[in-house]
Amino acid sequence: MRRWLCVLLCVGALAQLSAQQEMPLPEPDDGEPIPIEPPMLIPMRAPDGSIPDLVDNAAATPANLDVAKLEKELARAEKRAASADRLYKAGIIAKMDAEQRVLNAVQLTAALAEARLQAAKTQATDAEQPIAESALADAEEAAKRAAEERHRAEIEQALRDLQRQQKLLALGSGRKVDVSRAEKKLAELQSAE
């Protein structure tokens, strides 16, 4: 035990002696100050959090980028919605979160259909061909169906939220303000039909 204590003290004393020796500072060669911050390796991010593409791709128009981005987000949202029921049953997430995941997937589907419609409109104005006009008609129909589905899903979500708030109020843990807010939201969505 004493040997270990002596070894520890000797190592500490040697470390202290080496720390006390003054280290010579490097002398600057050209008189410029030493840079403290290294250059940024990652470029500045866009407002949506994505890293801007440094290569200028002329084939990718903003509409096509929006469609591609929405397709990726929709794929992620569909995966999250598919796992929501399993996670709810396992007790990992709340029922409201599972419902929100499904609603998010429906909303992204509608947004993707709208983006495709805008891309088809742009394409139809560029080339006056019957194929472009039929694609435009298909895109309009798909956007209309997706918007109706989104509206129906939002009404169902608002109705479930109202029922949830009413149950909480009946149990004594809810507030009347929350119930009235849910009723107002449901009424707004139903009047928008």
Confidence (pLDDT) at 147? 92
Asked if residue 114 lies in contact with residue 147, where contact means CB atoms within 8 angstroms, the answer is yes
| DSSP-assigned letter for residue 193 | -
Asked if residue 168 lies in contact with residue 178, where contact means CB atoms within 8 angstroms, the answer is yes
130-171 and 95-126 are packed helices; what angle lies between their axes, rounded to 10 degrees?
A: 160
Q: Residue 23: what are its φ and ψ, rounded to 5°?
A: -85, 130
Angstrom distance (rounded) from CA 141 to CA 124: 15
Say if residue 56 is exposed, middle or buried (CB neighbours under 10 Å; 0-12, 13-18, 19+).
Answer: exposed
Confidence (pLDDT) at 98? 92
176-191 and 130-171 are packed helices; what angle lies between their axes, rounded to 10 degrees?
A: 160
Confidence (pLDDT) at 125? 77
Q: Which two tokens stand for residue 103?
A: 């609603």
Angstrom distance (rounded) from CA 140 to CA 106: 17
Confidence (pLDDT) at 167? 93
Q: Residue 99: what are its φ and ψ, rounded to 5°?
A: -65, -40
Confidence (pLDDT) at 61? 47
Q: Residue 179: what are its φ and ψ, rounded to 5°?
A: -65, -45
| Strand ranges for the chain from DSSP E | none
Confidence (pLDDT) at 50? 61
Confidence (pLDDT) at 3? 86
Confidence (pLDDT) at 132? 67
Average pLDDT per block of 10 residues along the chain, 193 residues long:
84 77 61 60 63 44 72 94 92 92 94 89 73 80 93 94 93 92 92 81
